[in-house]
Structure 1
Amino acid sequence: MAMLDQQIRRVLSPYAFLLLAGFLAGASGRAQESSKEMDGMYQATVIVTGTDMRSRPIGFSRALREVLVKVSGEPRLQTDARLDPLAAHADTLVASFGYADQMAGIKVHDDQGTYDRSYDLTVRFERERIDKVLAELGEQPWRGERPVVVPVVRVRAVVGAPYLFSAEVPQGADQRISFFNSSVKYGITLRVPTESELSARGVGVDRLPSPSAAPTASQVLVAGTLEFQESEPIGWVGSWRLRWHDADYAWQVSGVNFDEAINDLTRGAIRVMSGHDTPN
């Protein structure tokens, strides 16, 4: 490396060399940052009961499937039967794990505070072995910068008038938590638009934007509606639209709770953006 630096110095002016050195340092820093972000994709946190072997194997199994989906961008791996034998022995892929008590600081007052206590189990898997598993399944890691997903959604709940989901709307407090949890689960950033952003773009309850109207090139807009349906199947009905690489995609979900409706939006977006053919 030192010899290479000397050769470069002889060819370039001092100023040009400094520019090149800064560029290389910046590129190296970005590569390290990207690698660090990718490392985070190889861990997942699931809820289990207790810290012993009663629930640890199933916790490892659930975490493994979540990591495979997050790393690859292929949600179908969540229920892929080919993974059943491996998921049953997910411990063989684990690099480290740890527990966090969900009731830490809360005084023990009944059985829920002893052997039935709930814990967050965070599992980190060996990166090389996860990549190998994906290759054997015909998949590969979804590397590079992942676009930010901006959901523009009209919501009609059980009661009240329909409203636009935003960063400030009072009715969307619990829903914003659902969006955050979904972004963590699937390894992307979901950026909820503000009221001012929606207003500036002329978006209204009766006027949703075109999916091609993303704020920037590094963002993807998912436009849609979310309504609670009281007839069969009872639950939330979501309809989503997305434009990616000059192609339009649309998909739906029905009869689910709100969290699962948001997860459906996220799954569809990551499947398309990671290079798979359809949202579902």
Structure 2
Amino acid sequence: MAGFSRLVLVVIGLMAAAPAVAATAQELYQSQTIVTGQGEVNRQTGFKACLDAVLLRVSGDQRLPKKPEMAALRDKAGSFVAEFRYRDRLGGIPVHDEQGTHDRPHDLTCIYKPEVIDRVLASLGSKPWLGERPRLAAFLSVERGKKHFALTADDQGGEPMRESFVNAAGPLAMWIVFPQTSLLSASGLDDQTLRYADMVVLDHLARKTGADKALAGSIVWSDRELGWIADWRLETRGKTYSWQVRGVSFDEAFRVGMRGAAQVLSGNGLPD
């Protein structure tokens, strides 16, 4: 499919744009989950999770897994799979004690035929998102107690969050980078001013990082919520979209950020 010729896969964010890696249709129409062992029962559970994931990956619409029609589709999730494979996540580590291979965690990758998934999407009132996916630059402020900072590409302390953000982008076949500290400083921005910065300004800075669009966000730790409160903003087609999630881990906060961005950019409207 020509629309995928420049679709960029995930790379860990640096200021300079990394070489683009084209995603084939086969790479787009696949998904992955973690299962225990290779037994039939856990495989069927994995097929259900992979169906949810591939529908979101292909369409960009995070609302699909919540539709009531999904219950019946999950019951026959394996029938949609063209092929699957396992990867032992403990590969190279010998089986020990009473542990067998049925106890070991595996990555289960499911590969689907595009026409099959497209028909499932149509039955849900949706369609594939086949256009080139905009590359995103994350402009994120972080606050926990007295500690606050902007997440940048060159902040060593921010590595766990950057890695988590990249992991959130991967299942959506999207690409994300982070600005250098010097770029923010030269623009008069820090973690406090980022929260209110104009999206036009941030989109301009995003292009300097090699991205196409800015995803602006803030996450604040809340003892009351027992987790992070995350607010996200993204501008497209002359409109700024905002969404929020409360009381979650920062891993989930970044997943909500990326899924919301995919929903907006795919033309599926405001995130839940």
Interval of TM-score (by shorter of Structure 1 and Structure 2): 0.7 to 0.9
Indicate if the aligned counterparts of 1:38 and 1:143 stay in contact, CA closer than 8 A: no
TM-score in terms of structure 2 length: 0.85
Residue aligning to 2:223: 230
The residue identity in structure 1 corresponding to 2:221 is: F
Could you tell me how far apart the structure 2 residues matched to 1:146 and 1:202 are? 29
Asked if structure 2 preserves the Cα contact closer than 8 Å seen for 1:43 and 1:67, the reply is yes
Does structure 1 residue 220 correspond to structure 2 residue 208?
no
Alignment of 1:1-280 (within 5 A): 36-112=23-99, 114-157=101-144, 161-208=147-194, 209-213=197-201, 214=203, 215-216=206-207, 219-231=212-224, 233-280=225-272
Residue 258 (structure 1) shift:
1.1
Q: SS of the counterpart of 1:143?
A: coil
Secondary structure of the corresponding residue to residue 147 of structure 1: coil
SS in 2 for 1:84: helix
CA distance in 1, matches of 2:180, 2:110: 34
Partner Cα distance (1:199, 1:95) in 2: 50
Cα deviations by residue, 1:140-188 (Å, 9 ceiling, x for unpaired) = 110111101211011113x552010111212211111211111111221
The two structures have a TM-score, normalised by structure 1, of 0.83
1:113 deviates by 5.5
Deviation for aligned residue 1:111: 4.3
Structure 1 range deviating more: 106-115 or 61-70:
106-115
Secondary structure of residue in 1 paired with 2:108: strand
Q: Secondary structure at the match of 1:144?
A: coil
Q: Root-mean-square deviation (CA), in Å? A: 2.1
Residue segments in structure 2 that go unaligned for 5+ positions in a row? 8-21
CA contact (8 A) 2:32 2:108 kept: yes
Report sequence identity in percent: 35
1:156/1:227 contact within 8 Å kept: yes
Deviations 1:244-263 (A, max 9, x none): 11101111110111111001
| CA distance in 2 between partners of 1:136 and 1:238 (Å) | 33
Q: Which has the higher helix share?
A: 1
Deviations 1:178-208 (A, max 9, x none): 1111111122112122223322332212211
Question: For 1:115-143, what per-residue CA distance to the aligned partner results, in whole angstroms no more than 9, with x for missing partners?
Answer: 31100001101210100111111111101
State the alpha-carbon separation in 1 of the partners of residues 3 and 130 from structure 2.
Answer: 13
SS at 1:44 equivalent: strand
Taking a change above 3 Å as real, the CA distance of residues 113 and 185 of structure 1, as seen in their structure-2 partners, is same
Distance 1:204 1:36, change over 3 A: closer
Query: 1:39: how far off?
Result: 2.9
> Which deviates more, 159-168 or 84-93?
159-168
Whether contact under 8 Å (1:210, 1:223) holds in the other structure is no
1:204 to 1:112, Cα distance in 2 relative to 1, 3 A: farther
Residue deviations 1:214-240, cap 9 Å, x none?
Answer: 133961212121011111x21110011
In structure 1, stretches of 5+ residues that fail to align are: 1-27
Paired residues, number:
251
Q: Which moved more, 1:193-202 or 1:141-150?
A: 193-202
